[in-house]
């Protein structure tokens, strides 16, 4: 094996990134080295690429970013027992401490001292990535590389939708980026009665129909609150907020019915003003912040949904590029002219 690799590096405090040759990472006794076969671009990566307010306050260039991938274990530390060289793997991207109150009570996904790969440490937009073996998820060798690479964001969708019961209930998915589209598919697979997808992008609303939305709403062409009421009468049972837009988020709180649930995965880049009195307290709703995936309960759910065929995410993967053409992928994402973009080192 050579000692260097190609990687996409967030090289400074500005918009964009560069493809560079960097050292292949070294591993410790409890780590593994993975040869990356496919790595997909996430909305978080787009925040970092565009160098918005959130990324300016969170990440410290220069470093390799990216956090969604599939690959093959090519080297393992002497203490690693759970995976073998040659295994097909993806990874839980939250590296947790293991000893805080959250980790000790089965809530490691909200660990007080979480590090996220591609955000707080080097990531997987590269030919190789090194990670703790405990974070490995072994994939079925028959699972295509591109589908395997998007299990992590699919886990976000599963965690958001299944944070409460959805069977026989109406579900509104606000924001039809890739994870929102996945949420539509998960809601359908888990028995939601009505699945309402809201966005400003016709391309993605069309994808939402393919994934199982029973109604799509272009929020500039019709009033979302009136449109939702026409379907649900009393308001929607569950809102999955994936947009991060202040107006859309407020609409979500207004369209949810009394006693309903709002689960928020999106990351607004600045504080959002909500009418807590009228839209939360008096309505008696449940509001949940969703971060990551339950480790490893959500991964088991993801694998089951994919293996059973109940969820087919292939239509969401709309573009493939070699690693050196990464800028084309980010350009498509900025335009909203894609589903999931997968890069192949």
Question: Binding residue per annotation — 6?
Answer: no
343 labelled binding-site residue: no
Is 97 marked as binding a ligand? yes
Question: Among all chains, which residue has been given the structure tokens 């955000």?
Answer: 119
95 is in an annotated binding site: no
Could you give the CA distance from residue 101 to residue 182 in angstroms, rounded to a whole number? Answer: 31
* Residue 124 annotated as binding site: no
pLDDT at residue 269, rounded to an integer:
78
**Cβ-proximal residues to 112 (8 Å cutoff; 6+ apart), any chain:** 97, 100, 101, 102
Write the CB contacts of 196 (distance below 8 Å, at least 6 apart in sequence): 170, 171, 172, 173, 213, 214, 215, 216, 217, 227, 228, 231, 232, 236
- Are 255 and 224 contacting, i.e. CB atoms less than 8 angstroms apart? yes
Token pair of 334, please? 């900025």
Residues 6+ apart with CB under 8 A from 177: 43, 204, 242, 243
Task: Dig out the tokens for 183 from the structure.
Answer: 């949420």
β-pairing verdict for 194-199 and 215-218? parallel
Whether residue 204 is annotated as binding a ligand: the answer is yes
Nearest 5 degrees, angle CA 242-CA 328-CA 210? 45
State residue 124's pLDDT score: 98
94 is in an annotated binding site: no
- Centre a 10 Å sphere on the Cβ of residue 210 and count the other Cβ atoms it contains: 14
State residue 192's pLDDT score. Answer: 98
Q: In a structure prediction context, what are the per-residue pLDDT tens digits for the chain, which is 345 residues long?
A: 789 999 999 999 999 999 999 999 999 999 999 999 999 999 999 999 999 988 999 999 999 999 999 999 999 999 999 999 999 999 999 999 999 999 999 999 999 999 999 999 999 999 999 999 999 999 999 999 999 999 999 999 999 999 999 999 999 999 999 999 999 999 999 999 999 999 999 999 999 999 999 999 999 999 999 999 999 999 999 999 999 999 999 999 999 999 999 999 998 878 999 999 999 999 999 999 999 999 999 999 999 999 999 999 999 999 999 999 999 999 999 999 999 999 999
**Mind telling me the catalytic residues?**
44, 47
- Cis peptide preceding 169, ω within 30 of 0: no
- 290 belongs to an annotated ligand binding site: yes
The H or E element that residue 189 is part of is: helix 178-189
Tens-place pLDDT, residues 242-278: 999 999 999 999 999 999 999 999 988 789 999 999 9
The answer to the question of whether 199 is labelled as a binding residue is: yes
Which pLDDT belongs to residue 1? 72
Domains of the chain: 4-150+313-344 (3.90.180.10), 155-289 (3.40.50.720)
DSSP category for residue 108: G
Supply the pLDDT for residue 270.
84
Residue 338 annotated as part of some ligand binding site: no
Is 179 among the annotated ligand-binding positions? yes
């Amino acid at each position: 094996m050579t000692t260097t690799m190609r990687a996409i590096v967030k090289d400074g405090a500005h918009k964009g990134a560069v493809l560079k040759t960097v050292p292949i990472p070294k591993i410790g006794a409890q780590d593994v080295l993975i040869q990356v076969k496919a790595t997909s671009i996430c909305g978080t990566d787009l925040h970092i690429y565009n160098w918005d307010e959130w990324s300016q306050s969170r990440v410290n260039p220069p470093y390799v970013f990216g956090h969604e991938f599939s690959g093959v274990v090519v080297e393992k530390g002497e203490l690693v027992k759970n995976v073998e060289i040659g295994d097909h793997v993806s990874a839980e991207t939250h590296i947790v401490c293991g000893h805080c109150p959250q980790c000790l009570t089965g809530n490691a996904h909200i660990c007080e001292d979480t590090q996220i790969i591609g955000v707080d440490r080097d990531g997987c937009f590269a030919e190789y990535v090194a990670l703790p073996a405990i974070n490995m998820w072994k994939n079925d060798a028959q699972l295509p590389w591109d589908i395997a690479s998007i299990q992590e964001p699919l886990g976000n969708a599963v965690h958001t939708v299944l944070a409460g019961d959805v069977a026989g209930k109406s579900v509104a998915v606000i924001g039809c980026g890739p994870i929102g589209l996945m949420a539509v598919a998960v809601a359908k697979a888990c028995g939601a009665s009505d699945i309402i997808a809201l966005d400003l992008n016709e391309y993605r609303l069309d994808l939402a129909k393919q994934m199982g939305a029973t109604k799509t709403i272009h929020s500039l062409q019709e009033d979302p609150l009136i449109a939702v009421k026409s379907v649900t009468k009393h308001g929607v049972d569950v809102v999955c907020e994936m947009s991060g837009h202040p107006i859309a988020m407020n609409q979500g709180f207004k369209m949810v019915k009394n006693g309903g649930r709002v689960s928020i995965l999106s990351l607004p880049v600045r504080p959002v003003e909500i009418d807590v009195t009228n839209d939360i307290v008096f309505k008696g709703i449940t509001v949940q912040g969703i971060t990551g995936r339950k480790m490893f309960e959500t991964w088991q759910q993801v694998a089951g949904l994919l293996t059973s065929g109940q969820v087919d995410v292939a239509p969401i993967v709309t573009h493939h590029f070699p690693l050196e053409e990464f800028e084309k992928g980010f350009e498509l994402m900025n335009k909203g002219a894609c589903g999931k973009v997968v890069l192949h080192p």
